[in-house]
Amino acid sequence: MKVLVIGGGGREHAIVWKLAQSSRVDKIYCCPGNAGIAELAECIDLSPDDHEGLVNFAKYEWIDITIVGPEDPLSKGIVDAFQKQGLKIMGPEKTAAEIEASKVYAKEFMKKYNIPTAEYRVFTSYLHAEEYVRMKGAPIVIKADGLAAGKGVIVAQTVDEAIEALRKIMKDRAFGSAGDRVVVEECLTGEEASYLVFTDGETILPMASSQDHKRVFDNDQGPNTGGMGAYSPAPVVSPEIEKKIMDQVMKPAIRGLAKEGRKYKGVLYAGLMIKDEQPYVLEFNCRFGDPETQPLLTRLESDLLEVALAISEERLSSVVLEWKPEASVCVVAASGGYPGKYEKGKPIKGLDRVKELDNVVVFHAGTAYNNGQIVTAGGRVLGVTALGKDIKEARDNAYRAIQMIEFEGMHYRKDIASRALNR
């Protein structure tokens, strides 16, 4: 079979890597891909936004199924464009993807279907939002309504910080039209977890639990990023809490979307805060998380191609997911300055040495080739991912590997998964 993967980050490298293990996959294409993906797939020079070009490519190459990684093409209707031409594709349609594309829609949807989440208010006026923040005090959470590459959520510890966030989003237009509306939200405390499921709109298959590290520096300091590391399983998600997540979050969300005429097919991700043994939804995402996908897919025993086909053909009830008992930890190596401004084109050393290690995979995110050499080409550059018999061993393996890699300005958190060890 021929498979097309849309995207070019660490998540997509993990998807391609997993697909390459399927005995049924003959050829993988990726758009646009990266230097690591190029070792497993043919990278095609098309923009993920060029839906017409991608549809034509899929038809011309007789692609059997397409898997979409990032949220942007999903929110712009790539699934609708493919389905209109009778092409198989895994991911939610545009209306269903709005659960991530609009924070306002997501909050109102959760309120309507009694899905536990933080108290909130929606504002289109900067003055009214500022007035509300001064009245409520801090800590408080400010969210741009639309997509902002994982950087549109600011957890403000002071009122001044919250007002600065409002100014950045609503006045300076840091995220463009994504800041036309803001959600001002109660700041929940507890322990975060990521919970992902596969669904064909009827059947819901939960994935293993995981936990992401959003802040750029150790001890959850500094600004939010796309994610600086992740691990699976997440000990905070006990069997009791997992049942609550399925019963109070995932099932009502999938059923609620169907009720709204937005049948959801693909991966649904809930970013959760676990507080007093109760899960609260911080956000929904309409796709695999990044970097959660890296530890999750290294633990997945089942054939990802079979899962994708079953979702597309609405027969997920015939699939049984199997997971490796080992734990997995991913540590992200980022460019100097990330999540702010950073330079590209820095040569990366040590990748060949890491390839010789057992139970370690380096997933490329922001990488490219320059005269045959792999160089940095993004903020998050690599996701060094390792398996181990438990979280501690997986973590030790990941940090041993990342210390073999170097590029100018490289930085990474030293405390990924430490919370799991301290429980």
Q: What per-residue confidence (pLDDT) applies to 240?
A: 97
207, 259: one domain = yes
311, 361: one domain = no
Judging by beta carbons within 10 Å of its beta carbon (0-12, 13-18, 19+), is residue 156 exposed, middle or buried?
buried
Q: What per-residue confidence (pLDDT) applies to 148?
A: 84
What is the residue-level pLDDT of the chain in tens, covering all 423 positions? 999 999 999 999 999 999 999 999 999 999 999 999 999 999 999 999 999 999 999 999 999 999 999 999 999 999 999 999 999 999 999 999 999 999 999 999 999 999 999 999 999 999 999 999 999 999 999 999 999 877 788 999 999 999 999 999 999 999 999 999 999 999 999 999 999 999 999 999 999 999 999 999 999 999 888 899 999 999 999 999 999 999 999 999 999 999 999 999 999 999 999 999 999 999 999 999 999 999 999 999 999 999 999 999 999 999 999 999 999 999 999 999 999 999 999 999 999 999 999 999 999 999 999 999 999 999 999 999 999 999 999 999 999 999 999 999 999 999 999 988 877
Kindly state whether residue 297 falls inside one of the protein's structural domains.
yes
203, 314: one domain = yes
Q: How many domains does the chain have?
A: 4
352, 376: one domain = yes
Q: Could you give the C-alpha distances from 220 to 7, 213, 229, 335, 400, in angstroms and in order?
A: 28, 7, 12, 18, 22
Kindly state whether residue 130 falls inside one of the protein's structural domains.
yes
Reading the block at residue 152, the tokens are: 């549109």
195, 313: one domain = yes
Sequence-separated (6 or more) residues with CB below 8 Å from residue 268: 92, 99, 196, 197, 199, 250, 253, 254, 284, 285, 286
Q: What per-residue confidence (pLDDT) applies to 267?
A: 98
Distance CA 50, CA 203 (A): 31
Kindly state whether residue 99 falls inside one of the protein's structural domains.
no
Instruction: Please state whether 175 falls in left (phi above 0), alpha (psi between -120 and 50) or beta.
Output: alpha
Reading the block at residue 335, the tokens are: 């460019």
Sequence-separated (6 or more) residues with CB below 8 Å from residue 159: 133, 134, 137, 138, 140
For every residue of 133-199, DSSP letters joined together read: HHHH-SSEEEEESS--TT-SEEEESSHHHHHHHHIIIIIS-TTGGGGSSEEEEE---SEEEEEEEEE
Q: What is the dihedral of CA 328, 350, 12, 10, to 10 degrees?
A: 70
Sequence-separated (6 or more) residues with CB below 8 Å from residue 110: 116, 117, 281
Distance CA 418, CA 378 (A): 26
Kindly state whether residue 229 falls inside one of the protein's structural domains.
yes
143, 218: one domain = no
Domain of residue 281 covers: 191-318
What three-state secondary structure class fits 16? helix
Which of the listed residues 180, 200, 219 is the one where a domain comes to its end? 180
* Cβ count near 187 (within 10 Å): 15
Reading the block at residue 304, the tokens are: 């990802």
Task: Assign residue 396 the CATH number of its domain.
Answer: 3.90.600.10
Task: Assign residue 198 the CATH number of its domain.
Answer: 3.30.470.20
Q: What per-residue confidence (pLDDT) applies to 38?
A: 98
Strand-strand pairing, 2-7 and 65-68: parallel
- Polymer length of the chain: 423
Give per-residue burial for 14-24: e unless 16+ CB within 10 Å, then b.
bbbbbbeebee
DSSP 8-state class, residue 411:
B
Task: Assign residue 167 the CATH number of its domain.
Answer: 3.30.1490.20
- pTM metric for this prediction: 0.95
Q: What per-residue confidence (pLDDT) applies to 149?
A: 74
Task: Assign residue 76 the CATH number of its domain.
Answer: 3.40.50.20
Kindly state whether residue 111 falls inside one of the protein's structural domains.
no
Q: What per-residue confidence (pLDDT) applies to 422?
A: 78
Question: Which of 194, 212, 323 has the alpha carbon at shortest distance from 249?
Answer: 194
Kindly state whether residue 44 falls inside one of the protein's structural domains.
yes
